[in-house]
Amino acid sequence: MKRTKIVDLFSADMLGKEVSVKGWVRTRRGNKHVQFVALNDGSTIRNIQIVFDLAKFDEEQLKAVSTGSAIHVTGMLVESMGKGQTCEIQADMLEIYGGADPEKYPLQKKGHTLEFLREIAHLRPRTNTFGAVLRIRSALAFAIHKFFQERGFYYLHTPLITASDCEGAGAMFQVTTLDLENPPRNEEGKVDYTQDFFGKTTALTVSGQLEGELGATALGAIYTFGPTFRAENSNTPRHLAEFWMIEPEVAFNDITDNMELAEDFIKYCISYALDNCRDDIEFLNEMYDKELIARLESVLKSDFVRLSYTDGVKILEESGKKFEFPVYWGADLQSEHERFLVEEHFKRPVILTDYPKEIKAFYMKQNADGKTVRAMDVLFPKIGEIIGGSEREENYDKLMQRIEELDIPMKDMWWYLDTRRFGTVPHSGFGLGFERLVLFVTGMTNIRDVIPFPRTPGNAEF
């Protein structure tokens, strides 16, 4: 008999039919006459209850059906008398694929802390919480492709190994095949990278944007969606050393178009999740964050505030609020400042624009005031910065001047400058941190809990 996924037991009209299900046991309880097993197969947050009549099954055999074991059951799907479920399976065949020693299987009962579950990240997908988070994450990834594909954007695959530092922050993971114990040296006694795999120093990318711009100035509109690496030593609930980023880049878009795209894009993703992951979001709303659904719906309804950095700083200065980090014009805003603007002052998402050039990357379009650049950060409740982007400096001379001021090594960037030498156009783009979106949609509070296997300083287990 063909296996039915548990999610389909609840949706299709299968009552009164013989079904076959396979999955992992969540709990077993009962007495000498009847045993009840809650089975989950990952297809939904909901378990199917399986009823074992001990007239038909051996009590000893059922003992092996412990929490965490994998089983196959066939039986009749019937309406359930018990509360909390609509249907259940009256078992007539049991096959045990693999037991799970109750003394050793770490996920015995509910109520483990998220911290403990991080230590067993290899097993946590089997919990309700991580099942829900990972299903939502998958749905959001699909929504992202759907959004861009429906709008004629091309999915561009940018390299993960690169010789250029897009954000200029220098927080890159070096990639080398040299023997670190005994590297080749040149005449000056320095490590001789001409003998390295690529003949020069390379690192894991911090952003696909520079290559994305090459795509946009040929295909018109592209997006990237891939892993991104930052070796910054930030141990915060919002930073990962390996995260996924989505970077759309559009020729002929100015910053206003860019802001509209960002707002439409985020709203589309949130509403896709609300429409397609209702059970999982309701579970998280119930268990972790009673305001989750209300917050998601409120963001969908509100127009994002658009505000210059200069005006934002004025609001912060005049707020009279004591911040841990001081605010003044020129300061890089901290999450506490961003969240004050969003959560307390405006009570809706804010797009902050026109930041001081000193705190932003070299490629951003310079404003006529000589002090600010056409940057935009989208700030979200609970998250702070969820998107960072800008209109790009398309003028070769101005871009070159900025590169020189910042002392950026151009020997590996000649190809990027060619976009400004040959058929340069105004263009804009942004990067959305995928895990920050997943954080927002799930209501989780630590970014380590929205990626299956988090990489953070000091942690690359699993």
Task: Select from 44-52, 190-198, 355-363, 386-394 the region that touches Mg ion (CB under 5 A).
Answer: 386-394
Task: Select from 29-37, 270-278, 340-348, 384-392 the region that touches ligand 4AD (CB under 6 A).
Answer: 384-392
The residue with tokens 């940018």 is 158
Q: What is the dihedral of CA 306, 311, 316, 319, to 10 degrees?
A: -100
Question: Interface with Mg ion includes 433 (CB under 5 A)?
Answer: no
Shortest distance in whole angstroms from residue 429 CB to ligand 4AD = 5
Q: What is the dihedral of CA 409, 208, 435, 168, to 10 degrees?
A: 10
Nearer to Mg ion, 68 or 388 (CB): 388
Nearer to ligand 4AD, 327 or 352 (CB): 352
Nearer to ligand 4AD, 41 or 338 (CB): 338
Q: Which does 360 bind (CB under 5 to 8 A by kind): ligand 4AD, Mg ion, none?
A: none
Question: Interface with ligand 4AD includes 338 (CB under 6 A)?
Answer: no
Shortest distance in whole angstroms from residue 122 CB to ligand 4AD = 22
Residue among 285, 340, 292 nearest 312 (CA): 340
Q: What is the DSSP letter of 439?
A: H
Shortest distance in whole angstroms from residue 378 CB to Mg ion = 10
Asked if 462 and 121 touch (Cβ cutoff 8 Å), the reply is yes
Question: Interface with ligand 4AD includes 88 (CB under 6 A)?
Answer: no
Q: Which does 387 bind (CB under 5 to 8 A by kind): ligand 4AD, Mg ion, none?
A: ligand 4AD
Beta bridge partners of 136: none
Q: What is the DSSP string of 359-402?
A: GS-TTBPBPTTSSEEEEEEEEETTTEEEEEEEEB---HHHHHHH
Question: Interface with Mg ion includes 75 (CB under 5 A)?
Answer: no
Shortest distance in whole angstroms from residue 209 CB to ligand 4AD = 4
Shortest distance in whole angstroms from residue 255 CB to ligand 4AD = 11
Question: Interface with ligand 4AD includes 436 (CB under 6 A)?
Answer: yes
The helix or strand, by DSSP H or E, that contains position 427, with its residue range, turns out to be strand 427-433
Beta bridge partners of 141: none
Nearer to Mg ion, 349 or 388 (CB): 388
Nearer to Mg ion, 114 or 331 (CB): 331
Q: Which does 247 bind (CB under 5 to 8 A by kind): Mg ion, ligand 4AD, none?
A: ligand 4AD
Nearer to ligand 4AD, 6 or 156 (CB): 156
Shortest distance in whole angstroms from residue 206 CB to ligand 4AD = 6
Question: Interface with Mg ion includes 381 (CB under 5 A)?
Answer: no
Question: Interface with Mg ion includes 388 (CB under 5 A)?
Answer: yes
Task: Select from 122-130, 320-328, 341-349, 387-395 the region that touches Mg ion (CB under 5 A).
Answer: 387-395
Asked if 367 and 353 touch (Cβ cutoff 8 Å), the reply is no
Shortest distance in whole angstroms from residue 386 CB to ligand 4AD = 5
Compose the 361-380 pattern: x for residues touching ligand 4AD by CB under 6 A, - for all others. --------------------
Question: Interface with ligand 4AD includes 62 (CB under 6 A)?
Answer: no
Residue among 207, 219, 164, 252 nearest 430 (CA): 207
Which token pair is 309? 């950095």
| Burial of 27 per CB tally in 10 Å (0-12, 13-18, 19+) | middle
Nearer to Mg ion, 68 or 433 (CB): 433
Beta bridge partners of 179: none
The helix or strand, by DSSP H or E, that contains position 265, with its residue range, turns out to be helix 255-276
Question: Interface with ligand 4AD includes 23 (CB under 6 A)?
Answer: no
Beta bridge partners of 96: 71
Site for ligand 4AD in 238-277 (CB under 6 A): 239-240, 243, 245, 247
- Going from the C-alpha of 87 to that of each of 15, 57, 382, the distances in angstroms are 8, 21, 38
Which are the contacts of 383, defined by CB distance < 8 A and separation ≥ 6? Answer: 238, 436, 439, 440
Asked if 387 and 431 touch (Cβ cutoff 8 Å), the reply is yes
Question: Interface with ligand 4AD includes 135 (CB under 6 A)?
Answer: no
Shortest distance in whole angstroms from residue 364 CB to Mg ion = 11
What type of residue sits at position 208?
G
How many residues form the binding site for ligand 4AD (CB under 6 A)?
22
Q: Which does 68 bind (CB under 5 to 8 A by kind): Mg ion, ligand 4AD, none?
A: none
Q: What is the DSSP string of 74-141?
A: EEEEEE--STT-SEEEEEEEEEEEE---TTT-S--SS---HHHHHHTTTTGGGSHHHHHHHHHHHHHH
Shortest distance in whole angstroms from residue 139 CB to ligand 4AD = 19
Which are the contacts of 367, defined by CB distance < 8 A and separation ≥ 6? Answer: 354, 373, 374
Contacting residues toward Mg ion, per CB under 5 A: 388
Contacting residues toward ligand 4AD, per CB under 6 A: 166-167, 207, 209, 230, 239-240, 243, 245, 247, 385-390, 429-431, 433, 435-436
